[in-house]
């Protein structure tokens, strides 16, 4: 029996073969994967992970696909999406437990209603809690790790384990989970600050206003393509290199924010990578600075 049939017989969540990954990334790019699986709950996820590991079947975990660029040839193996099956939240005073599939936007709205502050500046980031922790997502002075207390994972031996924040390293758009490639984040615990709802709502409006002014929203993309180099802004460097509006196929450097590569229609992964290499080359030539992608490219090094 093929691994696909065997997995299909073991799990309970949504299981699709040859699913186009362009349907599951905000870039709208990516070829088919062998299997696309959305676990029904944590037990279903554990079952799938242990099966795939034992059979040495390549697999990758995704949330909303808002920081991902998949190859045009897709992914050979199983893409596991942490979505509705991992969306339970529990509120106990200012302490909140959140499933990895919970989306940031509705979570922040709920926190505001309960007068809990500390994550409101992340409004507008279109990802899940799992993806945000993995990336240490942040905006306008706040990061997802600020109010974090612990993270629950399935570790490399298939066990569920709770890791306290002091044992996790977080840096700018980086968390230790990026090195622990076998681990999958299943939930997280936060402790927020009490703050009046009116103040949090004002803050959210301000952030939304700022975002609208500086970020393109008319074309698919994955947010900032490159990380900001120490003491510099990637967008400003790309702009000063004269690359706004630069195009390869359907991939274009946004006129609104030069660190946004957008899909203006029919862009392929190869278009985006050729354009990003051109940007890296020009910025290196002009400023002797190497830009590192923030977007996760799968498979790496493509």
Ligand X SMILES: Cc1cc2nc3c(=O)[nH]c(=O)nc-3n(C[C@H](O)[C@H](O)[C@H](O)COP(=O)(O)OP(=O)(O)OC[C@H]3O[C@@H](n4cnc5c(N)ncnc54)[C@H](O)[C@@H]3O)c2cc1C
Pick from 147, 203, 257, 296 the residue near ligand X by CB under 6 A. Answer: 296
Binding mask 115-154 for ligand X (x = CB under 6 A): ----------xxxx-xxx-xx-xxx---------------
Q: Based on the residue annotation, tell me whether 224 is a catalytic residue of this protein.
A: yes
Closest CA to 25 of 77, 68, 79: 68
For the segment 213-242, give every residue that binds ligand X (CB under 6 A).
Answer: 221-223
Q: Please give the Cα distance from 148 to 143 (Å, whole number).
A: 9
Q: Buried b / exposed e across 58-81, counting CB within 10 Å, b at 16+?
A: ebbbbbbbbbbbbbbebbebbbbb
* Nearest distance, CB of residue 217 and ligand X, angstroms: 7
Give me the sheet containing 247-248, strands edge to edge.
221-224, 260-263, 251-253, 247-248
Kind and range of the H or E run holding 161: strand 160-164
For the segment 71-90, give every residue that binds ligand X (CB under 6 A).
Answer: 82
- Vertex 179: Cα angle to 175 and 182 (nearest 5): 115
In the structure encoding, which two tokens stand for residue 23, read together?
């349907």
Q: Based on the residue annotation, tell me whether 173 is a catalytic residue of this protein.
A: yes
Listed ranges 9-17, 32-40, 49-57, 66-74: which one lies at the site for ligand X (CB under 6 A): 66-74
* Catalytic-role residue among 14, 16, 87, 173: 173
* Catalytic-role residue among 19, 47, 152, 294: 294
- The DSSP call for residue 122 is G
Contact partners, residue 49, CB within 8 Å, separation at least 6: 59, 80, 154, 158, 184
Listed ranges 4-12, 61-69, 71-79, 161-169: which one lies at the site for ligand X (CB under 6 A): 61-69
* Nearest distance, CB of residue 45 and ligand X, angstroms: 9
Nearest to ligand X of 64, 268 (CB atom)? 64
Interface positions with ligand X (CB under 6 A): 26, 60-68, 82, 100, 125-128, 130-132, 134-135, 137-139, 177, 184-185, 221-223, 296
Query: Catalytic amino acids?
Result: 173, 224, 294
């Amino acid at each position: 029996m093929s691994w696909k049939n065997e997995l299909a017989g073991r799990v309970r969540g949504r299981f699709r073969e040859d699913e186009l990954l362009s349907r599951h990334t905000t870039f709208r790019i990516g070829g088919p994967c062998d299997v696309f699986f959305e676990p029904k709950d944590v037990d279903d996820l554990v079952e799938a992970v242990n099966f795939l590991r034992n059979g040495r079947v390549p697999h990758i975990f995704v949330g909303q696909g808002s920081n991902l660029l998949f190859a045009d040839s897709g992914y050979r193996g199983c893409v596991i999406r942490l979505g509705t099956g991992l969306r339970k939240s529990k509120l106990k005073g200012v302490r909140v437990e959140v499933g990895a599939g919970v989306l940031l936007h509705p979570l922040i709205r709920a926190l505001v209603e309960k007068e809990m502050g500390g994550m409101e500046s992340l409004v507008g980031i279109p990802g899940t809690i799992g993806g945000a922790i993995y990336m240490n997502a942040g905006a306008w002075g706040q990061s997802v790790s600020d109010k974090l207390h612990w993270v629950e994972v399935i570790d490399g031996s298939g066990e569920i384990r709770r890791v306290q924040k002091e044992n996790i390293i977080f840096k700018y758009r980086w968390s230790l989970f990026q090195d622990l490639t076998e681990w999958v984040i299943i939930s997280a615990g936060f402790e927020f600050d009490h703050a009046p709802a009116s103040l949090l709502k004002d803050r959210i409006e301000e952030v939304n206003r700022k975002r609208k002014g500086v970020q393109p929203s008319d074309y698919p993309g994955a947010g900032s393509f490159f990380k900001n180099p120490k003491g510099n802004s990637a967008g400003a460097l790309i702009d000063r290199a004269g690359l706004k509006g630069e195009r390869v196929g359907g991939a274009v450097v946004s006129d609104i924010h030069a660190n946004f590569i957008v899909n203006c229609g029919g862009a392929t992964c190869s278009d985006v990578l050729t354009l990003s290499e051109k940007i890296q080359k020009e910025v290196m030539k002009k400023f002797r600075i190497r830009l590192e992608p923030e977007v996760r490219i799968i498979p790496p090094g493509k």
